[in-house]
Chain A
Amino acid sequence: MEENTIYTVEQVKDRIAQEFPTEVKFDTKVKPRRLFMSADKEILFKLCTLLKDQLGFDHCSLVSGVDWTDRFQTVYHISSFSNNITVEIVVDLPHDNPEVDSITPLWGGANWHERETYDMFGIIFKGHPNLKRLLLPEDYTFFPLRKDFEVGGL
């Protein structure tokens, strides 16, 4: 984290591919200052540690979830202030047991985002300091953003 080297998108991509050759797959979209990838959930914490300690990614922008009916997905957006790059990581989780490591020990900014994703979807983040409901009242038992939760219309 103390290095002052400026990395480009290509250098970041090569470095990640070097460390995790099979577990991380890169998307073919090309946009300036962006990198899109999908990762396995077992190596997520190691990947984020690599991003934070050696590549200068010091800000967690967003942690959110998507419910594809056969699997869950968590989506991470992590930015680097010194390199001006934003990275998008997509992690697939099984539908009946959605658990993933929490990245709150690395970036404090992910704390409430993970609590909100638990509140809305029911995804458990292992190692989170305080995983309670945030937006809905404490005694609600349903997870609203799942696709099997119907809301009424007019």
Chain B
Amino acid sequence: MAEMWINMGPQHPMTHGLWNLRIKVDGEIIVDSEPVIGYLHRGWEKMVEDRLYPQIIPMADRLCYGSSFSWSHVYCMAVEDLMGIEVPERAQYIRAMSDELQRIGNHLMWLGAIGPDLGNLTIFLYALRERELFLDLFTSLCGARMTYNYCRIGGVRNGPPPNWERDLVRTLDYFEKRMDEYEDLVDRNALFRMRMEGLSYLSGKEAVNLGVTGPSLRGSGVKYDIRHNDPYEIYDELDWHMCVRDEGDVYARYRVRMDEMRMSVQIVRDILKKMPKSGPIRVKPPREAPVGTGMARIEDPRGESLMYVVGDGTDKPYRLSVRSPLFVILSAAPAMLNGNRIADVPSIMGMLDVCMGETDR
């Protein structure tokens, strides 16, 4: 049978972002694959060497626009590690709460994107409608729908406005009822299950060696979550548990994200009970950073994100290095694709929740 290379991308409705997946097919079976990235490379790490430290926060937002709060969060944590600043307790609670709300928003966008890929067009409308409720919460908190510019070195910009907590509790109650409907719509659909179960098995050991992190790793049975194993902010004082599945196939990765959405709702409710009602939310950082290095890692909705900053005594960073979780997961794509059919590619690639802004930087 003749073998040939096929280009899927860069303009392709499956790719959710601009990258090229070259697959080598033998009839209908995929024999080899090679992702080609770089269509969105804007030289982020070079541009930040010419900006002041606070000017980089909106740039970090635009690294991955689907989960923009977590990127400015990890940047602020890395610079606070470099400068040796301690963030006040109320700001830590607000940051963790915004992180979890961002996680729900990101997973809803993912759910809305994979639905049409697999033939379920209704879930796109439902997921985006709920996401608008969470974006309304963020708009009243910091003024923007998507790239917030809310985190600051030393805390957050402002506290929640009046009645915000009442709106938050109402949204969470409404959302939990709706989650039951969505699980009914998707999980009890025989075609959807058939397209996801038993597909693209990745064992735990292989996933760890290839550098896969996040929901894809927990879907292969490895119990590792940075919020639990390497806690930052106030996650070690909250009452929650990790969502892990053992099967290692596409359905397990899908289920881990749905469970994480419910777990985020539980975490936010716990934070509302334990957050101090008043207190400072911001500490003023120095203008110039000391000579040295700083590092921070958090659990992004897609995996482990890490930032490494080198300071040289001036008010601009000398080097800022970014670890994006999807960069590594895409390099592990050949291990997940080989042996499957072309028609399975949207299902496998969609479950990885690709966002090219952080991969190409």
Q: Which residues of A contact B (CB under 8 A)?
A: 31, 33-34, 58-62, 64, 66-67, 75, 77, 81, 84, 86, 88, 107-113, 116, 120, 134-137, 144-145, 149, 151, 153
Contact = CB atoms under 8 A, between A and B. Distances in A.
A62 B26 CA distance: 35
Closest 8 CB pairs of A and B: A109-B211, A64-B321, A112-B331, A62-B323, A135-B38, A108-B210, A135-B41, A84-B229
B224 A81 contact: yes
Contact of A145 (B45, B81, B222, B224): B45
Nearest to B210: A108
A59 B204 CA distance: 12
B186 to A, nearest CB: 31
B46 interface: yes
Interface in B311-327: 318-319, 321, 323, 327
Contacts of A137: 38
Nearest to B47: A151
B85 interface: no
Nearest to A64: B321
30 contacts: A59-B211, A60-B211, A61-B211, A61-B297, A62-B321, A64-B321, A66-B318, A66-B321, A75-B321, A81-B224, A86-B230, A108-B209, A108-B210, A108-B331, A108-B332, A109-B210, A109-B212, A109-B332, A112-B327, A112-B328, A113-B323, A120-B45, A135-B41, A135-B360, A136-B38, A136-B41, A144-B43, A145-B46, A151-B43, A151-B46
Interface in B279-329: 293, 295, 297, 304, 306, 308, 310, 318-319, 321, 323, 327-328
A62 B45 CA distance: 15
A56 to B, nearest CB: 11
Residue of A108, A116, A145 contacting most chain B CB atoms (<10 Å): A108
Contacts, number: 89
A77 B308 contact: yes
B50 interface: yes
Nearest to A130: B34
B37 interface: yes
A75 B319 CA distance: 12
A29 to B, nearest CB: 8
Given A84-B229, A135-B38, A153-B50, A66 B310 contact: yes
Contacts of A108: 209-211, 331-332
Contact residues of A: prevailing secondary structure: mixed
B208 interface: yes
A145 B361 CA distance: 13
A86 B295 CA distance: 11
Interface string B182-211: 000000000000000000000000001111
Contacts of B293: 88
The bracket for how many chain B residues form the interface is 35 or more
A86 B210 CA distance: 17
Residue of B211, B224, B332 contacting most chain A CB atoms (<10 Å): B211
A11 B361 CA distance: 38
B131 to A, nearest CB: 30
B208 A58 contact: yes
Given A81-B222, A135-B38, A66 B209 contact: no
Contacts of A144: 43, 46
A134 B37 contact: yes
Given A66-B319, A77-B295, A81-B208, A61 B38 contact: no
Contacts of A67: 319
Contacts of B41: 135-136
A58 B319 CA distance: 27
Contacts of B306: 61-62, 77
Contacts of B308: 62, 64, 75, 77
A83 B212 CA distance: 18
Given A62-B306, A81-B224, 10 more contacts: A62-B321, A66-B319, A67-B319, A77-B323, A81-B222, A84-B230, A111-B331, A112-B331, A135-B37, A137-B38
A107 B210 CA distance: 7
Nearest to A107: B209
Contacts of A116: 327
Contacts of B211: 59-61, 107-110
Contacts of B224: 81
A46 B293 CA distance: 25
Interface in B28-45: 37-38, 41, 43, 45
A64 B309 CA distance: 11
A153 B316 CA distance: 15
A125 to B, nearest CB: 15
